[in-house]
């Protein structure tokens, strides 16, 4: 597989009335073409802000550190996203090389413009197709995502479609320009389970067909286990564990990842109690010193975890964990 994306030392702060707050802290990961990476964590962990940084889509008060590097490797050459400034420069990336789909499709579609007109407009901006070709491809894409009577739906407005259909229409629009990287932000959370499974299957098929890379943002490790090749677990703006799905889900090492997995319902043992992680993720304004998880960690080491920021420990095959616990305790060996 070919390298598609390199994110290095991504650090993002926001200037607010309460001062400058850190939303993403020194995050690094990479992605190959045809690979799916799950970005996992609770609300407030920094997943969406991280993903939006890949398109510089964050609000105007966002401040990226000088060390931040986000490199997109395309056949036509490399693009350093952080060095793009004008909207013309950004247009190559936004909706072109990178597409994003959101949890709530109503946020992506303009309410007063038909689905079809929005799809055609995007294609005419990002490809050299004419209007007729754009319309034809848009209808084809709506059919591809399983929307029946696509030619009629093409002329409808977002509010006229059911939730599942809107989600699929958004995926069709996001994929019609054949992006190299698709960022899917909680794309199935608002859907019922049957539609959720269909959307996941569809995305897997499309990865194979188009060889694109996908970053799949979710709070649900179960969905990641079904869809992703590798996973990064985030907490309060930091990656605390990353590796292949097999390693992170079968052999979780970080206390937070273990907590997320213990909180999942078990279909093989419906009587087993759900064990939620105690407490809430702190506000970025009250970021704990040392390990960001220390305020909720049941195995924190006194005098160390609240003082020192843990460095990554390599466990092999790209599996790494940021925790002060001794190796034997992390790996359970
Ligand atoms: Fe818990 Fe300490 Fe590990 Fe953080 S570094 S997860 S507080 S043991």
- pLDDT tens sequence across 101-137: 877 767 778 889 999 999 999 899 888 999 999 999 9
25 alpha carbon – ligand 1 mean position (Å): 17
For helices 163-176 and 115-126, give the axis angle rounded to 10 degrees. 20
Candidate from 240, 252, 297 with most ligand 1 atoms within 8 A of CB, to mutate? 297
pLDDT of residue 165: 86
CB neighbourhood size of 283 (10 A):
11
CA atoms within a 13 Å half-sphere pointing along the CA-CB vector of 297:
22
Residues 179 and 127: their CA atoms lie apart, in Å, by 11
Question: SS3 of 123, please?
Answer: helix
- Ligand 1 binding pocket (C-beta < 6 A) is 254-255, 291, 293-294, 297, 299-301, 305, 310, 323-325
pLDDT of residue 139: 96
> Distance of alpha carbon 144 from its chain centroid, rounded?
23
Instruction: Report which protein residue has its CA nearest ligand 1's atom 8.
Output: 300
| Beta pairing class for 36-40 and 3-16 | unpaired
**Structural domains of the chain in order of their starting residue, each with its CATH number:** 3-235 (3.40.50.300)
Residues 268 and 88: their CA atoms lie apart, in Å, by 53
pLDDT of residue 86: 86
Q: How do residues 179-218 score in pLDDT, each as one tens digit? A: 999 998 887 776 677 777 777 787 788 788 888 999 999 8
pLDDT of residue 236: 96
Instruction: Report which protein residue has its CA nearest ligand 1's atom 5.
Output: 323
Give the nearest ligand 1 atom to 240 CA: 6
As a residue count, the chain comes to: 333
pLDDT of residue 230: 96
Residues 9 and 66: their CA atoms lie apart, in Å, by 9
Give the nearest ligand 1 atom to 297 CA: 1
Instruction: Report which protein residue has its CA nearest ligand 1's atom 1.
Output: 300
Helix (H) or strand (E) holding 163: helix 163-176
pLDDT of residue 1: 65
> Distance of alpha carbon 256 from its chain centroid, rounded?
18
Residues of the chain with pLDDT under 70: 1, 105, 190-191, 267-270
Asked if 18 and 27 touch (Cβ cutoff 8 Å), the reply is no
DSSP letters along 227-295, please?
A: H-SEEEEEETTEEEEEEEHIIIIIS--SHHHHHHHHTS--TT-TTSPP-PPSS-PPPGGGPPSSSTTTT
List 319's β-bridge partners, or say none: 316
């Amino acid at each position: 597989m070919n390298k598609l994306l390199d994110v290095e030392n991504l650090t993002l702060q926001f200037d607010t009335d309460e001062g400058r707050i850190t939303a993403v802290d020194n995050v690094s990961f990479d992605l190959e073409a045809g690979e799916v990476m799950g970005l996992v964590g609770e609300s407030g962990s920094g997943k969406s802000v991280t993903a939006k940084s890949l398109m510089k889509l964050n609000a105007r008060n966002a401040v990226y550190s000088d060390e931040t590097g986000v490199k997109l490797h395309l056949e036509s050459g490399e693009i350093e996203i952080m060095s793009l400034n004008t909207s013309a420069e950004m247009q190559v990336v936004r909706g072109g090389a990178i597409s994003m789909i959101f949890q709530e499709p109503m946020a992506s579609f303009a309410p007063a413009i038909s689905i079809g007109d929005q799809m055609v407009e995007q294609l005419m901006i990002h490809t050299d197709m004419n209007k007729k070709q754009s319309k034809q491809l848009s209808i084809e894409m709506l059919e591809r995502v399983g929307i029946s009577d696509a030619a009629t739906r093409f002329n409808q407005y977002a509010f006229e479609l059911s939730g599942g259909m809107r989600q699929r229409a958004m995926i069709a629009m996001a994929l019609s320009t054949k992006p190299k990287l698709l960022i899917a932000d909680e794309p199935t959370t608002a859907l019922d389970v049957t539609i959720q499974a269909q959307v996941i299957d569809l995305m897997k098929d499309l990865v194979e067909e188009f060889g694109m890379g996908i970053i799949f943002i979710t709070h649900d490790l179960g969905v990641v286990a079904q869809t992703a090749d590798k996973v990064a677990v985030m907490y309060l703006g930091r990656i605390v564990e990353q590796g292949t799905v097999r390693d992170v889900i079968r052999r979780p090492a970080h206390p937070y990842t273990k907590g997320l997995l213990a909180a999942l319902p078990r279909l093989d043992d419906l009587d087993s109690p759900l064990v939620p992680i105690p407490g809430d993720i702190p506000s970025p304004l009250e970021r704990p010193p040392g390990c960001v998880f220390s305020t909720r960690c049941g195995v924190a080491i006194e005098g160390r975890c609240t003082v020192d920021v843990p460095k990554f420990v390599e466990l092999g095959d790209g599996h790494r964990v940021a925790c002060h616990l001794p190796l034997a305790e992390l790996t359970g060996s």
